[in-house]
Amino acid sequence: MKDMTALITGAGSGIGFGIAQSLAKQGVNLIITDINQAALSEATNTLSNDGASVQGLILDVTNAQDVEQLVQSLANTRIDVLINNAGIQHVSRLEDFPMESWQKIVDVLLTGPARTCQALLPKMRQQGFGRIINIGSIHGLVASPFKSAYVSAKHGLIGFSKVIALETSDTDITINTICPAYVKTPLVDKQIAAQAEQHGISEAQVIDEIMLAPMPKKAFIDIEEIAATVSFLASPQAKNMTGQALVLDGGWTVK
């Protein structure tokens, strides 16, 4: 992993930032992006102060011009690993779901990765190596109420990855999707409050009766678990693992 370069979207906080921290400890050069300038600056400074080789770039993955500018700015930079992590959420029954929010979620979670892959695949083909890692969700495999847009997008992300796996099978490029159950991040904290409102129950009940109830292990997934999975998928040893959904769910889907 040492001296490889990874580009991570949505790395200003949460899972993306945790992955960046983990990769930095392994000597990976980092290009982190986020739409939030303040979060991006803080993350970049923290990583740099910890000794990481890091560059922070503003990026809206739903904006074609942003993605094109990113590619141009990195024209002379080798990108070994692309980690599609940027994400948003909105919790509401479909009857009350604003269509602009529905579309935005799909744009960020599904069309966004398609844009970044389309932009960086030529570079990966030219160098004869690439690892694309999508941060999916258990909701790419199962459904929960009040998350129609998110569940649809995450299901689509797995299908998208399978297609790109076939399209890149002629070279040492892989694409896989990590599907964790709930991870305790700021995004999930907001979901807890939203779910409590939708269901008319307390936030503690949301955690115990909704989020952790389907998991035999009854525990949130640690960001470190996801980061370790990223490290394996990014390695040369994972050259024949492609088009797969790697599930970190505490036993949710085995029942």
Catalytic center residues: 150
Distance of alpha carbon 40 from alpha carbon 33, whole angstroms: 7
CA-CA distance, 216 to 249, in Å (whole number)? 9
Packing angle of the helix pair 223-234, 14-25 (nearest 10 deg): 50
Q: Are 145 and 152 in contact (CB under 8 A)?
A: no
How much is the CA Rg of the chain, to the nearest whole Å?
Answer: 18
CB neighbours of residue 192 within 10 Å: 20
Cα–Cα distance measured from residue 223 to residue 217, given in angstroms and rounded to the nearest whole number: 16
Amino acid at 246: L
Q: Checking DSSP bridges between strand 29-34 and strand 54-58, what pairing results, if any?
A: parallel
Residue among 174, 165, 156, 164 at smallest CA distance from 106? 156
Residue 17 tokens read as 């930032």
